[in-house]
Every structure is written in C-alpha cells, then in structure tokens.
C-alpha cells in the first residue's frame, strides 16, 4: 500500500517543486509563450483580413474583366460589321467596274467590226471595179479589133455630141 498512498514529505517536496516550477514558468516562460501566441493570433487575423481583401479585389477584377470582355466583343462585332460592309462595297464597285469595262470593250469591238467591215467592203468594191474594168477592156478590145467597127463607133459618138 505504500505505493498507493504517498508520504507527506514526498507530497510537500512535490508541491514545493511544482510551485517553484510554476513561479519560474510564470516569470520566464509564460510571457514569451503568450507573446508568441498573441503574435501568431495577430498574424492569422491580419492574414485573414488580407485574404478577404484579396478576395474582394479578385471579385472586382473579375467583374472588370467581364466588362472589358463584353466591350471587346462589342468592338469586335462592330469591326466585323464594318469589314463586311467594306468588303460588300469593294465587291459592288468591282462588279460595276467590270460591267462598265465589259460594255466599253463590247462597244470597241463593235466599232472595230464596223471598221473592218467598211474596209472589207471597200476592198470588195475595188476588186469588183478592177474586175469590171478588165472585163470591159477585154470586151472593148475584142469589139475594136475590127477597124470598121471603130470608125462606126466614133461617128456615132460624134453625132451624139452636140456642140
């Protein structure tokens, strides 16, 4: 039973050493430990405040980013609409220019055809006239081979001419 019930001296020395340890801890250890705990608590509170501020800042930046994205989309749509308008205008102008140039080329071709036709007609007339003269010359040569026929023609022409 000795082990279960301590002696009074042991209790006194244990109590005395406990109070001395308590005094020493209170004098030297509690203040630094409590100061460290207080610093840690302050650091944690400050970190929580900074995290909340960062969260608010992030939310604000996200809202600004979304607004900028919406604005960029609107500007992109406007630029695309303007580009489409310019493209359609360029295509329209090109079609009109091509139509005008085609009409001008057709008119030039008509004029060229008309000129070529006139030249060909003149050439045909010259050839016909040349052939007619050759034929007439051959006919007259054949007809005037005889001297008597020539004399008759000259006298007939003289009778027709009236002075």
Domain boundaries, the chain: 8-130
Q: Kindly report, residue by residue over 91-115, the tens digit of the pLDDT.
A: 999 999 999 999 999 999 999 999 9
Per-residue pLDDT at 3: 65
How distant, in Å, are the alpha carbons of 11, 30, 33, 40, 73 from that of 26?
A: 22, 5, 10, 20, 68
The band of 162, judged by pLDDT with boundaries at 50, 70 and 90, is low
- Report whether 115 contacts 109 (CB < 8 A): no
Residue 87 pLDDT > 80: yes
- Report whether 144 contacts 150 (CB < 8 A): yes
Rounded to the nearest 10 degrees, how much is the dihedral formed by the CA atoms of 147, 152, 153, 158? 130
Give the predicted TM-score (pTM) of the model: 0.42
Cβ neighbours of residue 149 closer than 8 Å, sequence gap 6 or more: 143
The band of 8, judged by pLDDT with boundaries at 50, 70 and 90, is confident
Tokens of 14: 């244990």
Q: Kindly report, residue by residue over 27-65, the tens digit of the pLDDT.
A: 888 888 888 999 999 999 999 999 999 999 999 999 999
Residue 163 pLDDT > 60: no
Tokens of 117: 């036709």
How distant, in Å, are the alpha carbons of 18, 47, 161 from that of 6?
A: 16, 51, 189
């Amino acid at each position: 039973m000795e082990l279960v019930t301590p002696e009074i001296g042991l209790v006194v020395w244990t109590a005395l050493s406990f109070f001395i340890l308590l005094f020493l801890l209170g004098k030297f250890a509690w203040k630094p430990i409590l100061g460290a705990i207080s610093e840690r608590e302050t650091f944690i509170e400050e970190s929580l405040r900074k995290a909340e501020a960062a969260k608010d800042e992030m939310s604000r930046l996200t809202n600004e980013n979304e607004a900028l994205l919406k604005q960029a989309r609107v500007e992109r749509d406007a630029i695309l609409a303007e580009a489409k308008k310019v493209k359609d205008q360029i295509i329209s102008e090109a079609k009109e220019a091509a139509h005008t140039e085609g009409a001008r080329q057709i008119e030039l071709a008509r004029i060229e055809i008309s000129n070529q036709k006139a030249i060909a007609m003149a050439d045909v007339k010259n050839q016909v006239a040349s052939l007619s003269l050759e034929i007439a010359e051959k006919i007259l040569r054949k007809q005037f081979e005889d001297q008597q026929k020539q004399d008759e023609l000259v006298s007939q022409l003289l009778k027709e001419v009236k002075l």
